[in-house]
Structure 1
Amino acid sequence: MFQFFKKKQDSAFYLGAPVKGMAVDLKEVKDPTFSTGMLGQGAAVIPSEGKIYAPADGEIAMVFDTLHAVSMTAENGVEILIHVGLDTVELKGQGFEGHVKAGDKVKKGDLILTVDLEAVKAAGYDVVTPMLVCNTDDYAAVEGISGKEVAPGENLVSIKMK
């Protein structure tokens, strides 16, 4: 009877931050592939440490040979790309260490990559780490959180189902 007094249920699905650092809007990423949403919507983090974690429960779809990026599919079908740094493919894996491989099942918070941030910066690369929902069009809304420090696993991207 008094249903209107009950708090409305949040129907969004959240991806956790893949790394500790400052959350920034994708539009601030200095690469149009990410800033224009070409690969999907999401958020980015300027990392303060080099441990990259799974943002959701799911399965690793691909670990790039150069270890600078990982794609995964969450249990509910959300397709996620985590890309460590800009143009870091040029490092050919130097400074990166993978902890998962394609087909691995992961839980939110599992360590998937480590990166030597200082080595990446010393080589002249930006370490900003975009996390994208590659199948953005499958959802009513995909919105990133920005402008605050985040810890791994804290809500970074909200996804509202259609």
Structure 2
Amino acid sequence: MSKEIKLSLPIDGKIIPLTEVNDYLFNKKIMGEGIAVNPDGNFVYSPVDGEINLVYDAKHAIGIKTEEGLQILIHVGIDSVKLESRGFATYVKVGDKVSRGDKVLFFDKEFVEKKASPVTPIVITNPELIESLDVNYKASKAGDLLLNIKLK
């Protein structure tokens, strides 16, 4: 029997397919499988219960590993690494345990929009664990059901 994992939308905004993200690492799914969000909000919340296994020095991206081993990357913005953490603040560090809905990151959306794209990919970086992935394109508020993932 396969295990299911439900991911919540980590930020308010409009869901867009990864193929529409203006970055080949994401739109060609080199980074993994998932979706992206054109954000309306400034806060990012954990989409699952898990452990923080990555916080980029530039504070624009966070990795979370679930108990089942699924690795989730939340990458705020396209070309946002060049902002060198300006406009970003993290609330977590590697090794922290998080629960679904915990605040993990802040970004100044208006500042990011001036210098980069605020589009935020949310990808599973180990897609080989996934049997199927269903996207709820109607999700728009942080905490809404975003992905229903069946593991192999």
For normalisation by structure 2, the TM-score amounts to 0.94
Aligned-pair RMSD on alpha carbons?
Answer: 1.5
Is the contact between residue 7 and residue 48 of structure 2 (CA under 8 Å) also seen in structure 1?
yes
Supply the distance in 1 between the matched residues of 2:97 and 2:122 (Cα, whole angstroms): 19
Deviation per residue, 1:42-64 (Å, 9 max, x gap): 11111001100001000000110
Shift of 1:143: 3.8
Supply the distance in 1 between the matched residues of 2:47 and 2:139 (Cα, whole angstroms): 16
Of 89, 112, 125, which residue of structure 1 is paired with 2:81? 89
For normalisation by structure 1, the TM-score amounts to 0.88
Deviation per residue, 1:65-120 (Å, 9 max, x gap): 00000011012211000000001000000000010000000000000000000001
- Where structure 1 has 5 or more consecutive residues not aligned to the other structure, the ranges are 1-9
Q: Does 1:59 align with 2:51?
A: yes
- Taking the TM superposition and a 5 Å limit, the aligned residue runs for 1:42-121 are 42-121=34-113
- Where structure 2 has 5 or more consecutive residues not aligned to the other structure, the ranges are none
State the number of aligned residues: 151
1:135: which partner in 2?
Answer: 126
Secondary structure class of the residue paired with 1:157: strand
Supply the distance in 1 between the matched residues of 2:70 and 2:139 (Cα, whole angstroms): 24
2:30: which partner in 1?
Answer: 38
1:19: which partner in 2?
Answer: 11
Secondary structure class of the residue paired with 1:90: helix
Query: Which structure has the larger Rg?
Result: 1
In 2 relative to 1, CA 155–95 (structure 1 residues): closer, same or farther, beyond 3 Å?
Answer: same
Deviation per residue, 1:6-44 (Å, 9 max, x gap): xxxx96321111100001111111111111111111111
Larger deviation: 134-143 or 59-68? 134-143
1:153: which partner in 2?
Answer: 143
Supply the distance in 2 between the matched residues of 1:133 and 1:38 (Cα, whole angstroms): 11
Write out the 4+ residue segments of structure 1 that deviate beyond 6 Å after TM superposition. none
